[in-house]
A and B are shown apart, each in its own frame.
Chain A
Amino acid sequence: MRSHKLFLSALLVLVLAFTSVLFVAHAQDASGAGLTIGFAQVGSESAWRTAFSDAVKAEAEARGINLLFSDGQQKQENQIAALRSFIAQGVDGIILAPVVETGWDDVLQEAADNSIPVVVVDRNVTADESLFVTRVSSDFVHEGRLAAAWLVQATAGKCDIVELQGTVGSSAALDRQQGFNEVIALFTDMQIIASQSGDFTRTNGKEVMESFLNSIDPATICAVWAHNDDMLIGAIEAMKEAGIDPGQDILTISVDAIPDIFKAMMDGDANATVELSPNMGGPAFDAIVAAINGETLPRWIPVAGGIYFPDTAAEEYARRGGQ
């Protein structure tokens, strides 16, 4: 028995040694000039989310901000625990990218009680507005307007459009639709002749496009407007299967700027994409600094992405980690 106790003790020491090495290895990183800001991210569930995290980290490094990054693994409880840890540590500010809209009141109240400014980025929260400084997020309406403006210019204000809507009721779908429709309403010869939800997925985008091509004479369709790139990529497949040359016979415009849409542009199948900007770190840091200085901020700081065309597709594809 004695020898086994020895063995167990040795094992215990080994595991402890391992964990302490793991812990101490990063001991130097905590010291840093400037502000200490905690960033509670949703997780790393999509390429866009990862690009968003990387953009915030790069921005923090460029500014000399000591960023405490927490990946919530798509769990609200992890994010709340992270916020509490940030508060306990006495950070100068907190950036929260919430996984869900509800349930933040108590922890935001705790941050407010400790005079720590919180900036909400990306998705919204239902908590009382007094509990956070401002919200930084993409301007979906602007994305819709930009998409429409390009299409107006490309078709000289004359175009019959089929629309692939995002998930019914989602703010991204509603706002992109609103922005797009605002602009085309200014042109009497631009109209949406068919519109249906493709739920933001490739398979549904393909199915909806197939049904459009069956019910409408493809020759009368001037352009397809998709609320995201994934649905458009599905629609491109449907058009190819129907013997139509996407990007040529039917113009395409969509939103997100995911790597695969640049691949499609390189293949000549897509015309333009509006970027859903992942660069929210800069405006969020600015907002925290402004809040610390006692400045009042607008309730919402929109972040607008640009529009991308085939001429830069190859380099964008490489830059965004497509392979």
Chain B
Amino acid sequence: MRSRAFPLIATFVVFVALYLIGYQRFPAFGTTRVIANFLTDKSFLGIAAVGMTFVIIAGGIDLSVGSVVAFTGVFCALAIGRLGMHPLVAFAVILLIGAAFGAIMGAVIHFYKIPAFIVTLAGMFLARGGAFVLSQESLPIEHSFYELIGDLYYVFPDRGRLTFVAVLFVVVLVVGIVIAHFTRFGRNIYAMGGSRESAANAALLLGVPIGRTTIMVYTLSAVLATLSGIVYSLYTSSGYPRAAVGLELDAIAAVVTGGTLLTGGVGFVAGTFVGVMIQGVIQTYINFDGTLNSWWTKIVIGLLLFLFIIIQKVLTSYRGTFTFRLIPGLSRRAAESKTSASPP
């Protein structure tokens, strides 16, 4: 158990260290302004990354996220601006479309046994193309509801703003943690991802409905990507077909630096949060500095990714020790899934 938590602890150490480096040079890092900005500016990335965490724990990948965000934004702009829909109605419609989109990708992955990255790559092109077919340019969203949400924030004594989208991000995060660790669906996702590691772990799969879980996990990811798109549209009050290009890669980076194994089976939603915050700290540092090239963000994230992949490799190559420690949990989980498979 301790070795499984090691990547999470390492991520947290990196985050705290980077934050302290920033704080030491820019005292403003200690203000609620900067901390609230982390949450607001990374809200859409964070929400999408929570979905990505589930997909990766299940042993898959979802490359369609950024495109779904762009499609959602353009759809909302058109539905509200041209069709005169109330934003809440538009949100409901697009969340349903997003859910269907994810379910179809999950079904194709499961029933046709096609690698997830190919299916979701197709999804990425479809959604991005769809966004451009709907509109070539950036569309403003002017609606009293958007203004209402924009004005909905809590101001800290030192004038930091806790915005609605930041709170929504935290809510999604908490719900994600609950789903991952306290529901049968969550356990099934871990079991499914873990079974890909070795034949021995296939025992985990007793009683796990693989098809349903696969479809559900991609549906969840697409719904969260759509929600991320809604947040993006609230964040910018517009829909833009070129928005969030490569967001899925930032999300994957956040998930991996957050301690989730790319091979599946092991991971933490809370770790993903720390992974997202690391990106926020680096970006803020570079903006504060004002002379560093902004692409250093990518270099630092690349280095961290590299570090965490090596950590993962070392941990998984010691599967002897690793499995030995896992066995009590393994047999307990197998027992649980057996009982859960029996009729109530």
Contacts and interface: CB of A to CB of B under 8 A. Distances in A.
B339 interface: no
B39 to A, nearest CB: 11
B263 interface: no
A29 B285 CA distance: 14
A70 B159 CA distance: 23
Contact of B291 (A11, A69, A106): A69
A29 B26 CA distance: 13
A27 to B, nearest CB: 6
A16 B17 contact: yes
A130 B257 CA distance: 43
A197 to B, nearest CB: 15
A227 B333 CA distance: 70
A15 B41 contact: no
A110 B41 contact: no
A301 interface: no
Interface stretch (B49-57, B173-181, B211-219, B237-245): B237-245
B3 A70 contact: no
Contact of B318 (A4, A70, A126): A4
A178 interface: no
B238 A8 contact: no
Contact of B292 (A5, A26, A75): A26
Interface string B278-298: 000001111111111111100
A84 B28 contact: no
A295 B286 CA distance: 33
B130 interface: no
Contacts of A7: 314
A15 B303 contact: yes
Nearest to B304: A15
A126 B37 contact: no
B138 A100 contact: yes
B196 interface: no
B13 interface: yes
Given A12-B14, A81-B283, A101-B138, A68 B236 contact: no
Nearest to A37: B290
B91 interface: no
B134 interface: no
A45 to B, nearest CB: 12
Nearest to A11: B307
Interface in B126-180: 137-140, 150, 159-161
Contacts of B236: 76-77, 80, 102-103
Contacts of B284: 81, 85, 88
Chain B: interface secondary structure?
Answer: helix
B321 A1 contact: yes
B294 A78 contact: yes
A114 B161 CA distance: 12
A30 B235 contact: no
A24 B10 CA distance: 22
B303 A76 contact: no
Contacts of B295: 71, 73
B37 A88 contact: yes
A15 B14 CA distance: 9
A18 B14 CA distance: 12
Contacts of A66: 290
A84 B243 CA distance: 19
A73 B235 contact: no
Contacts of B232: 77
Given A4-B318, A102-B238, A106-B150, A88 B289 contact: no
Nearest to B32: A88
A23 B136 CA distance: 39
Nearest to B26: A89
B287 A68 contact: yes
A70 B291 CA distance: 8
Interface in A13-31: 15-16, 18-20, 22-24, 26-27, 29-30
B110 interface: no
A201 B286 CA distance: 35
Nearest to B285: A23
Given A23-B25, A100-B138, A80 B314 contact: no
B75 interface: no
A81 B140 contact: no
A19 B300 contact: yes
B311 interface: yes
Which 7 residue pairs across A and B have the least CB separation, nearest first?
A68-B290, A103-B236, A85-B287, A102-B238, A103-B238, A102-B140, A100-B138
12 contacts: A5-B6, A12-B13, A16-B17, A23-B289, A26-B291, A29-B289, A29-B290, A85-B288, A88-B33, A89-B288, A103-B237, A103-B240
Given A100-B240, A102-B236, A103-B237, 15 more contacts: A1-B3, A68-B290, A71-B293, A73-B294, A76-B243, A77-B232, A80-B235, A86-B287, A87-B33, A88-B28, A89-B26, A101-B138, A102-B237, A103-B240, A106-B150
